[in-house]
A = this chain, B = another copy of it.
Amino acid sequence: MSTAGELGERRIIELLIDRFRRTPKMAVPFGDDVAAITLNKGLLAVLKTDVLVGKTDIPPSMTLRQAARKAVVMNVSDFASKGVKPLALLVSLTLPREYSREAIEEIGEGLNEGAEEYDTYIIGGDTGEGVDLTICCMVFGVSKKGDLTLRRGAKVGDVLAVTGLFGKTSAGLKILVEGRDSPQSLREKLVASVKMPTARLREGLALARTKAVTASIDSSDGLAICLHELKKNSGVGLEVTKLPMAPEAMKFAEMQGLNPEELALYGGEEYELVLTVMPEGWRRAEKAVAETGGRLIPIGRVIEEREVTLRKGDIVEKIQLRGWEHFRK
Query: A4: which of B21, B109, B121, B129 is its contact (CB, 8 Å)?
Result: B129
Query: A104: which of B16, B51, B91, B108 is its contact (CB, 8 Å)?
Result: B16
- A35 in contact with B326 (CB, 8 Å): no
Q: How many copies does the complex hold?
A: 2
Q: State in angstroms the CA–CA spacing of A313 and B16 once bound together.
A: 55
- A53 in contact with B130 (CB, 8 Å): yes
* Chain B residues within an 8 Å CB radius of A15: 101, 104-105, 108
- A127 in contact with B12 (CB, 8 Å): yes
- Residue A296 CB within 8 A of the other chain: no
Query: A45: which of B17, B22, B34, B87 is its contact (CB, 8 Å)?
Result: B87
Q: State in angstroms the CA–CA spacing of A130 and B4 once bound together.
A: 11
Residue of B nearest to A2 (CB): B101
Write the A54-70 contact mask toward B (1 if CB under 8 angstroms, else 0).
11110000000000000
Q: State in angstroms the CA–CA spacing of A287 and B82 once bound together.
A: 47
Known: A99-B4, A140-B45. A16 touches B130 (CB 8 A): no
Query: Closest approach, in angstroms, between the C-beta of A13 and any C-beta of chain B?
Result: 6
Known: A12-B104, A97-B327. A125 touches B7 (CB 8 A): no
Q: State in angstroms the CA–CA spacing of A93 and B36 once bound together.
A: 19
- A88 in contact with B37 (CB, 8 Å): yes
- Residue A122 CB within 8 A of the other chain: yes
Write the A101-134 contact mask toward B (1 if CB under 8 angstroms, else 0).
1101101110110011000011111111111101
* Chain B residues within an 8 Å CB radius of A47: 88, 90, 123-124, 138, 140
Q: State in angstroms the CA–CA spacing of A16 and B126 once bound together.
A: 10
* Chain B residues within an 8 Å CB radius of A87: 25, 37, 45
- A90 in contact with B138 (CB, 8 Å): yes
- A130 in contact with B55 (CB, 8 Å): yes
* Chain B residues within an 8 Å CB radius of A109: 19
Write the A75-94 contact mask toward B (1 if CB under 8 angstroms, else 0).
00000000000011011111
- B4 in contact with A37 (CB, 8 Å): no
Query: A129: which of B35, B53, B95 is its contact (CB, 8 Å)?
Result: B53
Residues of A within 8 A of B (CB): 1-5, 7, 9, 12-13, 15-23, 25-26, 28, 30, 34-37, 39, 45, 47-57, 87-88, 90-102, 104-105, 107-109, 111-112, 115-116, 121-132, 134, 136, 138, 140, 142, 326-327
